Each structure stands twice: as structure tokens, then as C-alpha cells.
Chain A
Amino acid sequence: MSTDGEAEIPPGGCHMCLAIPGKIVELVSDNPNSAMVDVVGMRRRVDLGLLEEDRPVPGDWVLIHVGFAMSKISEVDAIDQMKTLEMLGECEAAVQEVRGYGLEETDEKQAPQDGSLSGD
């Protein structure tokens, strides 16, 4: 909310797609739809109305957009993604090594890189 009569010109950056991960640090006692999130020391109130079917608790991480929590962030999936990224190129290196042994490669589809690259 801006104050009366002030020419409060916008902070830059578009709010439409701007969504930031934040950690729920506190539920507001008198309002089940409200919580405080922390983003590296910045604390902000968010509305939990869109997550009523799967209410986050303090310690959970959520994606925040225009003051609403849109989704819980899955630590498991994040770790999985990082592992996939760290392995990029390593499978190719492994394949090169195997080729170096002089073994015949009969079928391209058996090359190990298919599964890990697509991150399914």
C-alpha cells in the first residue's frame, strides 16, 4: 500500500512472473491463512490460502508470488536435480573410457546417457 498522494513509482522488475523461495518461520496465530516467511533475513508476510489442502508448517519452504504461497518446494526434487546437473558430461566421459578399451558398441540405444540426461 502506498501513502496518500505520494508518487510512488514502482520498484523495477515485473511482478508477474517474479516468484521467490522463502522459508516459513512463523504461523500467524489469529489467522490460519497467514504466515511469516524468511528470505535471507528479510521477513515477509504471505497468504497461505492457495495451499489450504496441504498446509505448510514452520521449516517448510514455499514459492512466494504477489504475497501468496503458490507451492511447497520439494527438497528431495531439488537434491535430485542438483545430482543430475553434477553428473552432466560424466556419463559421456565414462562412454569415452569404455570406447578406449576397444570394445565394440553394437547399439547406440544401450549407451547409458539417455536416462540421466533427461532428468525425468
Chain B
Amino acid sequence: MSSGAKLGHIVPPKIRFREPQIEMAHGAGGKASRRLVEGLFAPFFFGEFPGPLGDAAQLKINGARMAVTTDSFVVKPLVFPGGSIGELAVNGTVNDLAVSGAKPEALVITLILEAGLRTDVLQAEIQAIADSAQRAGVRIAGGDTKVVEHGKADSMYITTTGLGAPIPGIEIDPRSVRPGDKVLLSGPIGDHGITILLARGELDMEGDLRSDTRSVFPLVGALAQAAGPGVRWMRDPTRGGVATSLNELARDCGLGVILFEDSIPVHDAVRGACELLGLEPLHIANEGQFLSVLAPELADAALKALQEAPGGDEARIIGEMREQPAGSVLVTTLYGGSRIVDMLVGDPLPRIC
């Protein structure tokens, strides 16, 4: 034993992040992001072997249980069909709380504004934040604002920190996932990411698509009521898409995820855009969907509850957990072909959420 044994002396953790500088890929939500969080942040904050990292932290303060999470929003353009950065900032954090099994209660908001930002633009976003918070049933409890020089903030960056009350009877833990568990998806994928890509106007491509940004808490609530004890895991597939979230699950629980390609809901326009650009829909960001893994005996009841809830009509069971391929996600087709889908590498769509 060496110097670490001294009382009050912090042993420098083993850093597994060896890259000399930060690249765009580190913020994309895929492999590089994972390396940054697990290799550089987690050792300092959580110790050597922190266990699976979730969407929100479950804290116990003076006997009261509370979920807390934070997220930042860097979106270009600020406004797009279906929403704006203000809505993303509220719904994104509300959804992180919801999929951690908590009822969202309050948000605090940090704004980093670029000097030169027009007041009417800012006001529109403040309105959007207020409206979304009201729709989601959360209080804005406070916040902070900073202004940086022109050119340093892409108009505005928003960080939201959210607090929620854990839903009784819901225990999210990837380690509780078993072979045979079903994978449930709340609705069609790819709408948000492709909407942003088109809204950038760089592609000479247009289509009738809107961001799917919304609070998923009502659907999570319906799921909890119908199948609470059977819910093993949930996640909102934002950056990196469904593939990245499910790869993280596969790694965390050591099982394989088998997806049935023909069951995965995708709007035609998203499919068309992906075919045109050579993109994989499973890698595209979503802002109004969530994944859930359920005990098989409760899966049908869960699906029914979602499909009957407002906004849940396109929910589907898209796959199941199996022993193999351990740690990976395999997409299968009706004719017996299959392919592995990995976590996102690189950053196909930066500044997406």
C-alpha cells in the first residue's frame, strides 16, 4: 500500500482517457463521449468502479429520495419545425428524469448568451421555456445568466438541471435485465435529427418533418401504472440514437439486444433522408421518445397502455434480450439476415440537441 492510505489524501484515480485534446466527437453521444465520461470524469467524481451510469442520479437527503439530472442544449438553428432550443431544454431534462423513474418537479436554468443576440429572439425562447414547463407540469425554480463575447456562443447555450420525485414501484437497473425481456419503443425514430439537418439548409433537401420534442412523462406514467414491477430499464435515445442507448444497455448488463428491423417504426420521410444520405436511422437523435426493457409477462400490457395513451399510438415492441451476442446489438430481418449495429462513431449531426 502506498501514499493513498493517508487520511484526507485523495489518490489520483487511474485516468483511462488518453486523447490529447477534445474533438467534436466527444460531444456526439457515441463511443468517444463514453470514453470521455468513463475515462476522465467518472474516476474523479465517482471512484474507480462506479457501476452503470444512468440518466439521473438518485439521491437520499435527510431521508427524502430525490432524482436529479442536468443537460445542456447547443442547437443550430435555434428554431426549427416542431420546436426550438427552449423546448428542447425543458423536455430534454424532463425526459431524463422520467426515464430514470421519477416524476419531474422543478427545473433551474442557466443561460449563456452571446453578445449581439436580439432581445426578441431571446424572449421567444423564454416564452418557449415557460410554455413547455407548463405543459410538462414542472416549476421553473430559478436560474443564472452569463453573457459572452460575440462569436463565442452560437446565439445561446442553455443548461437545465432538473429535480424529480421517484415513482414508487419503479426500480431502474440494467443489471436486472434478463434474457427474454422485451424491448419497447414509444414511437417513430429519427424525426428530430433529420429535421435539424434539413433546417440547417445546407443540403438542397426539403421535407415535411417536425422535431418530435415533447415530455414523455405521461407515457412513462402510463407504463408505470400498467407494468411498474416489470420495468427493468428505460432510456431516452437522444444523441447517438436508439443504437447507442441499446449498446450501452448491452454493455451494462452483459447480454445481447436483438432488434426486429421490420418492427422499428420510422416515418417515410426519415427513411428517405437516411437512404439519400447513407445514414442509419438507429443512430439519429430523438427528443420525444423512450426505450424500455420489460419482463416478458408484462410486455403486452405495457404496450397496450402506451398505445392507448395520447401520443403513444405508434409504440412497438421492437426486440428482445438474449444471451448472445453479449454486449452487442443485432438487427434481424424477416428473411433471416442480420447485422450488428454499433454505438455511434464520430458525429454525423453536430449541434443537434
Binding site for B on A (CB under 8 A): 1-3, 6-15, 18, 20, 39-45, 64, 67
Give the docked Cα–Cα distance between A119 and B47 (Å): 65
Q: A40-B269, A41-B272, A42-B273 are in contact. Are A13 and B278 (CB under 8 A)?
A: yes
| A41 near B350: Cβ-Cβ < 8 Å | no
17 contacts between A and B (CB under 8 A): A1-B202, A3-B202, A8-B202, A11-B277, A11-B278, A11-B279, A11-B349, A12-B280, A12-B283, A20-B275, A20-B276, A39-B275, A41-B207, A42-B272, A43-B205, A44-B206, A45-B205
CB-based contact B25/A9 at 8 Å: yes
Whether B348 and A67, one on each chain, are in contact in the complex, defined by CB atoms closer than 8 angstroms, is no
Return the 3 tightest CB-CB contacts between A and B, nearest first: A13-B278, A42-B272, A40-B272
Q: Is the CB of A9 within 8 A of B346?
A: yes
CB of B175 within 8 Å of the partner chain:
no
A8 touches B276 (CB 8 A): no
Task: Select one of B28, B200, B205, B283 contacting A42, CB under 8 A.
Answer: B205
Q: Are A44 and B348 in contact (CB under 8 A)?
A: no
| Chain A residues closer than 8 Å to B204, beta-carbon distance | 44-45, 67
Other than A3-B202, A7-B23, give 13 A-B pairs with Cβ distance below 8 A: A6-B351, A9-B24, A9-B25, A9-B28, A11-B279, A13-B277, A13-B278, A14-B278, A20-B276, A40-B271, A42-B206, A42-B273, A43-B205
State which residues 248-297 of B face A: CB under 8 Å.
268-269, 271-273, 275-280, 283
B272 A39 Cβ-Cβ under 8 A: yes
Complex CA gap A41/B205 in Å reads 10
- B348 nearest CB across to chain A (Å): 5
Q: Which residue of A lies closest to B208 (CB)?
A: A41
Q: Please judge, given known A-B contacts A20-B275, A42-B276, A44-B204, whether A9 and B350 are in contact too, CB under 8 Å.
A: yes
Cβ-based interface call for B347 (8 A): yes
Identify the interface centre among A7, A8, A11: most chain B CB within 10 Å of its CB. A11
* CA gap between A93 and B279 in the complex, in Å: 41
- Cα distance A20–B277 when bound, in Å? 9
CB contacts under 8 Å to A, within B202-226, are 202-208
Quick one: which of B25, B197, B200, B278 has the most chain A CB within 10 A? Answer: B278
- CB 8 Å contact bits of B12-37 with A (1 = contact, 0 = none): 00000000000111001000000000
Contact of B24 among A7, A18, A20 (CB under 8 A): A7
**Nearest CB to that of A7 among chain B residues?**
B24
- A67: chain B residues at CB < 8 Å are 204
| Residue numbers in A under 8 Å from B28 (CB-CB) | 9
**Residue in B23, B268, B349 whose beta carbon sits within 8 Å of that of A41 in the complex:** B268
Q: Report yes or no: B269 in contact with A13, Cβ–Cβ below 8 A.
A: no
Q: Is the CB of A3 within 8 A of B279?
A: no
Question: Smallest CB–CB gap between B27 and chain A, Å?
Answer: 10
Complex CA distance for A95 and B319, rounded to whole angstroms: 41
The verdict on A12 contacting B278 (CB below 8 Å), with A2-B202, A44-B205 known, is: yes
Tell me, in angstroms, the Cα distance from A20 to B205 when the chains sit together.
Answer: 14
Given contacts A9-B25, A12-B278, A13-B278, contact A43 B350 (CB under 8 A): no
Which A residues touch B207, using CB under 8 A? 41-43
Complex alpha-carbon distance, A6 and B269, angstroms: 26
| Bound form: Cα–Cα A40–B275 in Å | 10
B269 touches A10 (CB 8 A): no
The residues of B that contact A13 with a CB separation of less than 8 Å are 277-280
Q: Complex: how many Å from CA A12 to CA B241?
A: 14
Contact of B273 with A18 in the complex, beta carbons under 8 Å = no
Q: Which residues of A contact B197 (CB under 8 A)?
A: 11
The residue in chain A whose Cβ has the minimal distance to the Cβ of B28 is A9
Interface centre among B272, B279, B347 (most CB of A within 10 A): B272
CA distance A64 to B347 in the complex (A): 25
